[in-house]
Structure 1
Amino acid sequence: MSIRRDEADRVLRLKSRERESHACYPCRKRKVKCDGNQPCRTCQKRKHPQICDFDIPVHSRRRSTSQHLAQPASSTAPQAVTETVDQPPVQNDDSSKNYVYSGDNSVVSILRSRASDANDSMVREVSSVLGLQNTLNSYPFMDSKTPSEKWESLLQVLPQRMEILKFFHYYRVTAYPYNPILADMDRFEADLCTYLNAHALGEFKDPGKITDRWATDKSIGHISLLLATLAAGAHYSDVEHPRRLELATDFARRSFHALRLANFLFRPSLDAIQALLIVGNTLQNTGQSDAAWALLGTTVRLAQTMGLHTERSTIHWPEYVRTKARKLWSTVVWQDSLLCLCYDRPPIVSVTGWSFDHAHFEQNDLSYPETMHLICRLGLDIMRPENLGITEVDRAIEGLRRLDNLGQRSQHYLRNRESCITFQQNLEHLALRMHTSFCVSVLCRPAMKQFQPQPLNPQADILRTRAKAGLIDASTAFLDFQALSVVPLRSWSMVHTVLSSTLLLCIWEETRHDPECRSLQQRVIDVFSSSDSRTTEGTPSESDGQWLSARHIRALVTLRSALDREGDRAANYQEDPGMGFEAAPGVDINNQDGYVPVEMLDPFGISPVTYLDSIMNVPLFDFTQENGFL
């Protein structure tokens, strides 16, 4: 009796499915034991019972293997690696390298959820058919196209051994503890040792001989991340300012060039996202905060392309990669929150895509990074209030309550400096005080928007009291911090905090004539005058002041002028408390038009917050001449 071949294949396929049905999809994928229940004990233990499914097929790798072998030797397509999160384990063919996150309501997701064996290949191609994914395997906006050209270009920007030994230490000790962008420092340092060993073995010496393991997009992305850490390390190093700025800029340039070689815009990766965050933070710290803001927008979009903003897209990723992705998205939230608070601009990130255990928000003994992550989540609520039915004052009171509750749950040394034992604990305590005080001042700004206090308004009185204490504490913490470390003088967010706080102390009627506040203002000016920004005839010199942003130099000059004028009027004020306050003249260091000069503003006619904004938010560009080509 003869049996048709297609009938035999059908029977074998059914038998294969019967064998597979004894284990759910996640257990088959991980090759671990499954008890056959739904959800099984393994999925319950790993805390993903919702994906315990026995009907999801595991696709064969034969198609992807044949496609890989069919690729020409000169192909520059990204190599498949286990840690590359833009390759979801659900898909094992070559199209997984071009994975683009799509929401549940997209056509791609709907087709994928309803796919069967018959149309599965169509689903894998639907993103390309609909034009929803990139197709270029190399970065199109540069000359290096072939593998040999990319290799030669990479060798020109590679970090050298002495550069790493000198500047990575500064990043690890000085920059990273207060802005932990790297999602896995231990893994990064292990990879760094691998790179140094390869460098010592001469794997990067011959431009004509490509070393395969360092020529992949993933390896080049890691080199870009290493260069980014060196840029940040150079900024915090003990090198003199002109050379320090030159080094930081050069490392950032090389890092971005490596990103282009890794095709970051078309094939983003975890290393690329981290490199972009560190480069953007370095730009910010060297005074280029507007460029940092723009770059952060691109970084957020690339992270969303990979699906880092939502937990659902990481369900099928390895546990280690899921943990890394979660930390990285929290870091993105951190960066966006601080920039938004400083600029008073709307955030573009969201925290709703990741589910957080409620106990996480109630646990005690929070570390410095954990406390900062929660403060930044609160910062998003400050900048993007969800409940518009309550008054601004009530929302500020609720924000203060949440901030106070969070502070009480941090580790004891973070709450009380007397409990600090080590040098690092002192630094983290002061850094947290600066960030917390800044949030307090932002929350309490409704009380500073009116020049005269509102009568019989207890909540407004609370805000005014907390505002004064927050402004004083921010300045005090900065002064104590800078006595121990260069971090506050080299960190843009901390410079912004102390200058904005000190300016408000100088112009707010509650604090303008307070002897303690005037003493703080003078001490802050003295710190900036005696540090990297040495002054000439009372104005920060251009060469030494470039590490500050243009807005902060303007704020510093305005503060100095206001303090000098106020000192001249102190005696007259004692004789006639009702005399007006003449606005301090601002210095336009950019000599640009298109805005109202600060000297024409009268603090008595506007609120202190508006006056502060007029100093800190001077337009950097003239948009009045945009109606012609020339």
Structure 2
Amino acid sequence: MNAPSHDEVDRVLRLKRKEREVRACYPCRKRKVKCDGTQPCRTCQKRNHPHICTYDLPPDSRKEASHPAVNVQSASPSPGRVQRSRRQNEFPAAPLANIPLANIPTSHRLDDTAKNYVYSGDNSVVSILRSRASDGNESMTQDLGSVLGLQNTFNNYPFMDSKTPQEKWKSLLSVLPQRSEVLKFFHYYRVTAYPFNPILADMDRFESDMCTYLNAHSAGELRDEDQIVERWASDKSVGHISLLLATLAAGAHYSDIDYPARLELATDFARRSFHALRLSNFLFRPSLDIVQTLLILGNTLQNMGQSDAAWALLGTTIRLAQTMGLHTERSTSQWPEYVRTKSRTLWSTIVWQDSLLCMCYDRPPIVTVTGWTRDNSLFRRTDLSYQEIMHSLCRLILDIIRPDTFVGEFDRAIEALNRLDTLYQRGQPHLQMRSNCTTLQQNLEHLALKMHSSFCVSVVCRPAMKQSHAQPHLLQPEILRNRAKGSLIDASRAFLDFQALSVVPMRSWSMVHTVLSSTLLLCIWEETRNDPQCRDLQQSVIDVFSSSDSRTAEEGGIENDGQWLSARHIRALVTLRGALDRQQESNMPENEPWMPQNLDAGGFGQSIPDGLFDDINPFENSPVSYLDMIMNGPMFDLSQESNFL
């Protein structure tokens, strides 16, 4: 057997040689320095040329150019490089998922490895190894997340039947919003829901993308089940469609349709939105659109009376946002300025949702505000808008519900009141005084802020309300009790005025919770229960929830706005009405504390569970304890938890 020639050996070796995958950007490869694989990488940022940091230049371009005689097949890029190039040109990475690709400079497009970006703190093993990596072990550091089990590997959502691209395309077409649905229900979201809970981080960009969707829908791009349109089948586009459906669910809830149809529509939009989330693999590949979708869906569930489900979903949403690194400014430093701004706004919105819900439930929050630098200009301005005050107010709430154990309750409460007052005084004129309101929207913003701030004040003052008797010789408790009384009255009045102008307070869980908890405390607190003014407010609140505007069933149940209320809120209404009825029938003496007895739900469609008040002694428990038992009574029967059947 003849020995092979050197040329034959070289030919075989060339065929067997595996092309080394490019891990560093072109400038770092050119300078032969370390590159962390991000876009732009830290090295390019330190050298002040992030705009030239790119990964799509082939390393042997000069060699190919110097050999024009090479045939076309041998000069073509390798399959691996072609695949990477296609990925780069198809979709941006998760942090850029909300930006049309045409608007993203080439220098800002991240390579495919960034799609699987998972935030890790500076002290994590991944971050430490990556910071110490050299060019020789780049490939190892790029895969550290997967090696250590800290990175998802499923490219498709595993918990659904649709597996192939064709099946997913058909499934997507089945839940797409129709043109008539978008035109009708997005208006309700934009005008009614969004101004008082601005979850969308960039409304202008969202509306522009919505117009793109409507044009594509009218052009017939989203009709043929057998013809997949790639630009609408991507995870990025499906995530945007899920966000659009979520806004329609919220819009349907605030629409002028009768309650049964409204509930069915809102639920259907939410179901379709969540299915689109699964098609976009939301749990394994989160994006800014996905986080916003989950926030809107959770808030809609809450407004439909399902606050426990909203609480659970919000926890998942926050964890996904933290996976992306939205909770810290440092993790977004390599992103384009637009994305950093949007991420900051979105995290502030998450703080808004979590802090208000935690304050209502008296549960510990998940969010933090230490990861982002404070905007110091807010402390110098005296023209803060409604949204700016609400964002600042929610940061204060986090301090309130995370008590400092080294400071006394009364001292902390007085300090919190001072901070709340200072913040309120820096708002725009129409937010401070209703006499300065000149438009309907200014009136609504004034009343919404009055409700939220009054509720915060009442929560701050609850240490003084827990005392069984007033102590005039102590100044701090007396100040807190006076502020508490004023805040409860202000919250009730603001609700009554607000509902006369808009459906927002009757459809918003947080506002219903505020007025019911406030009127209940007015009813059972010794400082206010015999006050004629407070009693009139209580009766007015009852009348609103039993108003003639709601269609009444034969048994007297509320068919319109009332039935969406959660079981806790219905229980609060029943308790409040029972207390008023008992006071009117028995002419209760002023020194006798009210005790709920034998209450019937009557027109509110739900009875009070037997034994609910068995453990309450009116002479030993504070009004706050009454409120807690009524509003936060057990909703789940765990007595048979140990039994299978």
| Equivalent in the alignment of 1:472 | 489
Task: Establish whether residue 177 from structure 1 lines up as the match of residue 192 from structure 2.
Answer: no
Q: Is 1:617 matched up with 2:632?
A: yes
Instruction: State how many pairs are aligned.
Output: 590
Cross-structure match for 1:161: 179
Matched, 1:229 2:247: yes
1:115 pairs with 2:110: no
Q: 1:81 aligns with which of 85, 92, 95?
A: 92
- The amino acid across from 2:327 in the alignment is H
Rounded to whole Å, the distance in 2 between the matches of 1:292 and 1:626 is 24
| Separation (CA, whole Å) in 2 of partners of 1:225 and 1:294 | 19
> Which residues of 2 match residues 266-305 of structure 1 at below 5 A?
266-305=284-323
Equivalent residue, structure 1, for 2:46: 52
Contact 1:581–1:604 (Cα < 8 Å) also in 2: no
> What secondary structure is seen at the aligned counterpart in 2 of 1:84?
helix
Report the AA paired with residue 628 of structure 1.
N
Aligned 8 A contact 1:241 1:532 in 2: no
Q: State the secondary structure of the residue aligned to 2:136.
A: coil
String of CA shifts for 1:573-617, please: whole Å, max 9, x gaps.
2xxx43453434445877797x84237634333100000011001
Aligned residue number for residue 36 of structure 1: none
Cα deviation code 1:507-548 (max 9, x no counterpart): 001000111101100100000001676666997458864310
Maintained 8 Å contact 1:307/1:314:
yes
Structure 1: runs of 5 or more not aligned: 1-12, 31-47
2:582 aligned partner, one-letter code: R
Distance (Å, rounded) in 2 between the aligned partners of 1:144 and 1:609: 51
Conserved? CA contact 1:157–1:254, under 8 Å = yes
Provide the rounded CA distance (Å) in 2 between the counterparts of 1:404 and 1:538. 46
1:430, CA displacement in angstroms? 0.4
Q: Is the CA contact 2:579–2:594 (under 8 Å) kept in the aligned structure 1?
A: no
Correspondence for 2:145 among 117, 127, 142: 127
When residues 91 and 106 of structure 1 are mapped into structure 2, their CA distance, relative to the original with a 3 A threshold, is farther
- For the residue of structure 2 that corresponds to 1:562, the secondary structure is helix
* Normalised TM-score (structure 2): 0.85
Is residue 391 of structure 1 aligned with residue 408 of structure 2?
yes
Query: Within 1, Cα distance between the matches of 2:146 and 2:414?
Result: 51
1:257 matched to 2:242? The reply is: no
For 1:279, give the aligned amino acid. L
Shift of 1:456: 1.3
Partner of 2:644: 629
Cα distance in 1 between the residues matched to 2:226 and 2:600: 55
User: Residue 17 and residue 252 in structure 1: after superposition, are their counterparts in 2 closer, same or farther (change >3 A)?
Assistant: closer
Shift of the alpha carbon at 1:83? 6.9
Distance 2:350 2:569 in 1: 24
How far 1:569 moved relative to its partner? 3.3
Work out whether residues 366 and 409 of structure 1, in 8 Å CA contact, stay in contact via their aligned partners in 2: yes
Q: In structure 2, how many angstroms separate the alpha carbons of the residues matched to 1:181 and 1:17?
A: 40
Q: Which runs of 5+ in 2 are unaligned?
A: 1-23, 60-76, 99-103
Letter matched to residue 413 of structure 1 = H
Q: Return the offset for 1:138.
A: 0.4
- 538, 562, 565: which one aligns with 2:579: 562
**Counterparts of 2:81 and 2:294, CA distance in 1:** 30
> Does the residue aligned with 2:284 lie in a helix, a strand or coil?
coil
Query: Which of residues 447, 451, 460 is equivalent to 1:443?
Result: 460
Give 1:258 deviation, angstroms: 0.2
Paired position in structure 2 for 1:338: 356
Map 1:542-553 to 2 at 5 A: 545-553=562-570
Whichever residue aligns with residue 561 of structure 1, its letter is G
Q: How does 1:291-440 map to 2 (within 5 A)?
A: 291-385=309-403, 387-440=404-457
CA shift, 1:317, in A, is: 0.2
Instruction: From 165, 168, 186, give the equivalent of 1:150.
Output: 168
| Alpha-carbon separation, structure 1, partners of 2:544 and 2:507 | 13
Deviation at 1:117, TM superposition (A): 1.6
Q: Which amino acid aligns with 1:426?
A: N
TM-score by length of 1: 0.87
Task: Report whether the alignment pairs 1:598 with 2:613.
Answer: yes
Structure 1 624/25 Cα, relative in aligned 2: closer, same or farther at 3 Å? Answer: closer
1:168 Cα deviation after fit: 0.3
CA distance in 2, matches of 1:482, 1:591: 26
8 A contact 2:94–2:285 mirrored in 1? no
- CA 1:358 to 1:625, structure 2 compared with 1: closer, same or farther past 3 Å? same
Give the alignment partner of residue 237 of structure 2, picking from 200, 204, 219: 219
Instruction: Write the distance in 2 (CA, Å) between the matches of 1:65 and 1:394.
Output: 70
Measured on the aligned residues, the alpha-carbon RMSD in Å equals 3.3
In structure 1, how many angstroms separate the alpha carbons of the residues matched to 2:447 and 2:373?
31
Q: Kindly indicate whether the alpha-carbon contact (under 8 Å) linking 1:86 and 1:100 is maintained by their aligned counterparts in 2.
A: no
Query: Quick one: distance in 1 between partners of 2:288 and 2:550?
Result: 37
User: Which amino acid counterpart does residue 583 of structure 1 have in structure 2?
Assistant: P
* Structure 1 residue 235: Cα displacement: 0.2
Are 2:471 and 2:477, in contact at CA under 8 Å, matched by a contact in 1?
yes
Q: What is the match of residue 69 of structure 1?
A: 82
Look up the SS of the partner of 2:327 in the other structure: coil
Verify the 8 A CA contact 2:516 2:572 in the aligned structure 1. Answer: yes
Which of 453, 456, 466 is equivalent to 2:473?
Answer: 456
Partner of 1:500: 517
Amino acid in structure 1 at the alignment position of 2:575: T
CA contact (8 A) 2:298 2:310 kept: yes
Distance 1:267 1:150, change over 3 A: same
CA separation of 1:68 and 1:488: change in aligned 2, threshold 3 A: farther
The amino acid of 2:91's aligned partner reads: A
Q: Do the aligned residues in 2 keep the contact of 1:100 with 1:305 (CA within 8 Å)?
A: yes
Contact (CA 8 Å) 1:468, 1:511: kept in 2 or not?
yes
CA separation in 2, counterparts of 1:477 and 1:591?
A: 28
In the other structure, the counterpart of 2:216 is: 198
